[in-house]
Structure 1
C-alpha cells in the first residue's frame, strides 16, 4: 500500500541506547542515512540497511532497530516473503530485549504486508494488536496506527468506522501543523464519504484541500484528489464533469512523468467512457497502460482494469481480445493467491527455523554444562547427565509442540483461503437474490397499483353517494352512475387479483425441488421423449411437426421433470419462435456418451439473437413483456436441469431458429450432489 509510506516513514523504532562502540549520535546518523537513501531509491535503501547490519559493533537494541528498517524497506521493494522472514527474526530479537514495546514494529509492518497481499482482515487484526504497544510508546504512534486501521476499514467498506477515525486524525494533523498528513488523510476521508454517498461533503472537502496540496507541491495527493472527484461525479452520473476532471489528472501525471497513480486514473476514465457508451475510447485508455508490466503492485486495481477490459472487448464483439483479457485476469488472481500462500508459508517456515535454531542453541548450552560438570567432580556427573537428558527431552517436547502450532497456523491459513472463496460465492448469491426480488417487485407492482387505484375509486364513489343520500339529493341517475363505476372498479380488482395469482403461481415454479420425493426410474429416453411431445402436435392453433432421432439410450432419472422441461421449450417455441407462422418444425437429437447423454433441441422459428443468449436463463428476462410474460420459464428449466436432474443446459447460436443443448448423467444416482 504505497499511500501508507508517508505516514509510517516516521515510525521507525527508536530506543535508548546503551554504552557501545557505536555511540547514540553515530547511530542516529546511520538512521538518517538509511531514511534519506530509501527516500531516493528503495533498492539503495535496502543495500544501506544490509551494510549497517553487517557491522558487528551494533548492540542488541541497535540491531533490532535496523532489522525493523530492513523489514520495512523489503516491504517497500515488494519483497514480501523476505520481509516476513525478517519480521520473524525481529520478533525473536525483541523477545530477548527488556523493552517489549518494540513489538509495535512487528505488528505494524505485518499489517502493512497483509494489506499488500489483499488479506485485509488479517491486516486489521495485526494493526489492532499494534495499538497497545503504540500506547506504550507515544501518542503520535497511536494516532498513526489508528489511521492505518481506518485505511483497512476503507478497504473492507466499513465507511462509517473509517470516516470517524479519519476526521480525528485530520484534526490532529491540523492542530500539530502536519500539512502532509492533513492532505493525505483528507483524501482518505473523501473516499469514506464517497462510500457513504455523501457526495456534496466529499466534493467540498476535496475542493478545500486541493489548494493546500497544490501550494505544497503534493503532486501525488493532487492526482488522488482529482481521481476521487471523478469517481464522485461518475457516481452521480455527471459523466462530462468526471471526464474533464480525470483528463486534468491524466495531464498532470504526464506533465510530471508520474506513473504510480496512472492506472487508477486510467481505470476511472475508462469507466466514464463506458458509462457514456463510448467503449472504443474506454478501451483506448486501458490500452495506453501496459497491464503486463511487472512493476504494477496494486493487484486489486489491476484485477478491476482487466475485468473492465474484458467486458469492453465483449461489448465490441472482440472475442479473441476478450478471451485474452480474461486469461490475464485469471493469471492475476492466481498470482495473488500464490503471493498470499507463499508469504504465509515463508513466515511459517521462518518461525519453524527460528524455533529449531533456538532449540539447537539451548541444546548446545546444556551439553556444555554437562561437560563442565564432568570436569568438576565425579560425584555430580550422573546428576549432570540426567539433568542434560531431561533438558533435551523438554527441548524436544517444546519443538514438537511448536511444530504442531506451525502446522495449525498453516491449516488456519488454508481455511481462510477457503472462507474467502465462500464469501465470494455468497456475494454472487446475494446479487442474484437482489435481482430476483427486484424482478418480483416490478411484476407485482402493476396489478397491486391497479387494485389500489380501483379501491380508491370505490371509496370516493361511496363517499359521494353517502353525501348525496344525507343531503336528499340522491337520484336514480346518481345511483346508476355509482353502480356502473363501482362495477367497473370491481372488475378491475378481480382481474388484477387473478393476475397476481397467476404471477404467484409462476414464482412458485422457481422452486427447483419438483417431485423429488418420487424415486429415480430407469427408462428409454427416446421413447419417453416421443411420448411426451406427441400431445403438442397441435398447440395454440399451430401445426407442429416433431423429428426425433439419434441414439437409443436407457437412463436413470426423473422422466416427469424431463417432460416438463421439453413442454416448456415447446411452449416457448410456439409463443416466440412460431409467433408469426402456423406451421413449425422441432428437431430433437439424442447423443449418447459413456457417462452422459446430450439432448439437442432446435426449432425453425425466428431464433434468438446472439447478443441475448447469455441473458435468457435470467429470472424475469423476456422479449415479450407486454404480452404478460414474466420471463421465468427458461429460468425454471435451468434450475430443473441443474439442480433436479444434475445436468447442464445452454443456448447456442443457430441461424435457422432456437437451439438448446441439455446434458444429463446416464445414472443420476452416481452424481455427487456436492458438485452442484
Structure 2
C-alpha cells in the first residue's frame, strides 16, 4: 500500500527475511523492518516517485539478523490509471556488500601501508642523498689529499736533488771568495806578480766553470718543479708541447728514479702539442711511475719503463705506458682502478690509479685499459682527443 503496509509476499521474500510463517507478517508495515530512521526517510521519499526505482538498504529479519537488500519497486495502477499498490521485489546483497566493505577496508589499509612505506622511502632516499653528498665531498677531499701528498713527495725529492748542485756551487763560490780576498790583499800590499795573477785567473776560471753548470742545473730543476707543481695544483687548460713537458715531469721525478736501477725511456714526436690540462697530464705520468716504483719492482731490481705517445688519427692521442716488472694476476688486475685498493698497505693510499682512471675517462673524455700477467710486466693504454673536452668552468 501507499503507507508501506505489506499486502502479500512470496516464499523467496519470506526466505530472505527469515520468516517461517508468512501469514504472520501480512498487513505489517515495510518500515518496521528498516533499521534506521534515515533509511526509512529515504525509502518514504522514493515511494513517492512513479518511475521504476532501485534502493539498497539494511533490513532486520525476524530473527534480528541484519542483512543488506536491493529493493526494486514500481507503481501498479488500476484500470482507470489510478494508484493501486506498489510492486516490490527484494534481493539479498549482503555477501556483495560485505565484500565491498572488506575490499574498502583492505584498500584503506593498503593506502595506509603505501603512505607509511612512501614516507619511509622518502626518508631513506633523503638519507641516501645526504650520504652520497657526504661521500662525494669525502672523495673530493681524499683525491685532493692524494694530489697534495704526491706534490709533497715531489717537493722533498726536488729539494734533495737541488742540494747537490747548490752544495757544489757554494763550495766553489766559497773557494773563489777566499782567493779573491787574498788577491785584494796582495794587490793592496803591492805583492802581485805574474805567476800569482796567472794562478788566480786559472782558479777563478775553474770555480766559474763549476758554479755555472751547477747553478744552471739547479735553475732547471726549479723551473721544472715550478711548472709541474703549479700545473698539478691547477685545473687550467693550455696548449703545450707534450715531449717537452714530459721532460720536465721526468726531471721532477729524477730523485725518485735515481734511487733505483730503473731506466725510463720516452718516445714522443717533437712537434706533438695538446690542447688540454697539463696538471692532470702530469698527475697521470707521476701516478704511473710512482705506482711502478712502489709495486712493480723490488728495491734492487733492474728494469725498464717505457712511455710512448703518438697521434692515433687526426683527432686522438694514444698514450702507452709499459713496465717490465712483476706484473699482476687477474684478480688484482680487475681491482686496480677501485678506490683504496692496494696490494701493499702502508705504502700508498690506493687512490693513484683510481685518480688516473677518473682523469682519463671524465676530465679527458677518453678510455683506459690495462693488460698484465705475473712475471711479464704491465701495460696501460689510454686514448683521448687532441682537443680536450670543455671543463665545467669553461662551459
Instruction: Tell me which structure has the larger Cα radius of gyration.
Output: 2
TM-score by length of 2: 0.43
TM-score by length of 1: 0.27
- Point out the structure with the larger strand share: 2
Task: Say which structure, 1 or 2, has more relative contact order (CA 8 Å, 6+ apart).
Answer: 2
